[in-house]
């Protein structure tokens, strides 16, 4: 069944506020669903763009939706934000998890309170109604490894960054990339274990400095987490290492545009976080109306999606290439 935009919007606003001052319920104003979306960290370009998407889509779908951005990429801050949303009795909570295990108890309480829970970048989250992903784990990891291997000439030593060691999706991407690399590119050698620094600019800078000192023969850096490529690029650019070390990963286009154009960042892939914000709102409006996602339903900006009820997964496949030909267009969109 295809869920068109008209049908999707038609499901929203079914609930009504109780009559006040003697006004019969039939004449009461429609109550907009209340939707709070908790992201990993506020104030960085990636989630600024997601907030733009939330604000853009909310009036279209007739929901009151807003983003909560913690000051640090910290699971405890996400827990407190979700507790606040439960206390406010919102209809839907959206989350981009920093630590799936740490969020399980509070999301369980949200569901027990009758609140619908949507996650993004949380494929192993258990206490949710649905998770949506903008690409598959395998495709995202493998495309980055193919690019890294090509830029490294198929051989040499490389390191891997993830947002943190508890961010589920970053680590799943890294797992997919590393396993694929071992199989397809046997002359590539990963040094040590992954580093959980790529959601922090300062930590990415420091780790890159440390790794250059420890491994003068380093040839590649593969990073999953929006600040990883930026921090690493600053170090490679400052030290004149951009030509000898291939840096690959996803990041916010406006933040990394200059490093792509000067060749310090060789490339990467992202989905558009603005579009992910719109998807959050569209799904929230659907769930708040008591509807269930269906396979093949169409969503604004992404088209038909795959729905896997057994996994509580809504799968989109929409990536953008972060290369010299595409980066300016993405940056000009405010990403």
Distance CA 177, CA 35 (A): 34
Q: Assess whether pLDDT exceeds 50 at residue 5.
A: no
Top pLDDT among 45 and 34 is at: 34
Q: Is 300 helix (H, G, I), strand (E, B) or coil?
A: coil
Q: Assess whether pLDDT exceeds 80 at residue 3.
A: no
Note the pLDDT tens digit of each residue in 109-143: 999 999 999 999 998 899 999 999 999 999 999 99
Residue 308: how many CB atoms within 10 A of its CB?
A: 13
Q: Assess whether pLDDT exceeds 50 at residue 267.
A: yes
Q: Give percent of the chain above pLDDT 70.
A: 91
What pLDDT score was predicted for residue 152?
98
Top pLDDT among 6 and 288 is at: 288
Mean pLDDT of the chain: 90
What pLDDT score was predicted for residue 211?
98
Q: Assess whether pLDDT exceeds 80 at residue 36.
A: yes
Q: How confident is the model at residue 21 (pLDDT cuts 50, 70, 90)?
A: very low
Q: Which of 244, 334, 273, 286 is closest to 129 using CA atoms? A: 286
Two structure tokens written together for 173: 């991407």
Q: Which of 173, 212, 170 is closest to 191 using CA atoms? A: 212
What pLDDT score was predicted for residue 30?
52
Q: How open is the CA angle 319-306-53, to the nearest 5 degrees? A: 50
Distance CA 327, CA 332 (A): 9
Q: How confident is the model at residue 87 (pLDDT cuts 50, 70, 90)?
A: very high
Query: Element (H or E) spanning 259, and its range?
Result: helix 253-261
Q: Which of 221, 224, 130, 248 is closest to 168 using CA atoms? A: 224
Note the pLDDT tens digit of each residue in 292-319: 999 999 999 999 999 999 999 999 988 9
């Amino acid at each position: 069944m295809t869920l068109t935009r008209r049908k999707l919007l038609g499901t929203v606003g079914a609930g009504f506020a109780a009559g006040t001052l003697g006004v019969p319920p039939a004449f009461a104003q429609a109550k907009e669903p209340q939707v709070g979306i908790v992201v990993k960290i506020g104030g960085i370009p990636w989630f600024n763009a997601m907030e733009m998407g939330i604000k853009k889509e909310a009036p279209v779908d007739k929901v009151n939706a807003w983003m909560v951005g913690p000051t640090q990429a910290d699971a405890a801050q996400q827990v407190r934000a979700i507790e606040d949303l439960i206390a406010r009795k919102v209809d839907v909570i959206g989350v981009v998890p920093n630590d799936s295990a740490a969020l399980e108890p509070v999301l369980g309480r949200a569901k027990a309170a009758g609140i619908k829970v949507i996650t993004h970048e949380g494929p192993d989250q258990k206490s949710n109604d649905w998770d949506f992903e903008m690409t598959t784990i395998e495709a995202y990891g493998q495309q980055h490894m193919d690019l890294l291997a090509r830029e490294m000439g198929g051989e040499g030593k490389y390191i891997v960054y993830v947002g943190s060691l508890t961010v589920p999706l970053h680590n799943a991407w890294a797992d997919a990339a590393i396993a694929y690399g071992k199989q397809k590119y046997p002359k590539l050698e990963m040094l040590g274990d992954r580093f959980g620094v790529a959601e922090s600019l300062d930590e990415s800078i420091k780790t890159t400095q440390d790794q250059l000192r420890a491994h003068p023969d380093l040839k590649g850096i593969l990073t999953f987490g929006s600040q990883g490529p930026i921090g690493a690029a600053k170090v490679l650019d400052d030290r004149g290492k951009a030509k000898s070390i291939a840096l690959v990963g996803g990041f916010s286009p406006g933040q990394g545009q200059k490093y792509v154009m000067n060749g310090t960042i060789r490339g990467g892939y992202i989905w558009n976080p603005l579009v992910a914000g719109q998807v959050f709102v569209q799904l929230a409006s659907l769930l708040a109306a008591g509807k269930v996602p269906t396979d093949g339903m169409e969503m604004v900006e992404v088209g038909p999606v795959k729905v896997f009820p057994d996994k509580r997964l809504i799968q989109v496949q929409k990536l953008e290439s972060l290369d010299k030909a595409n980066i300016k267009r993405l940056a000009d969109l405010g990403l």
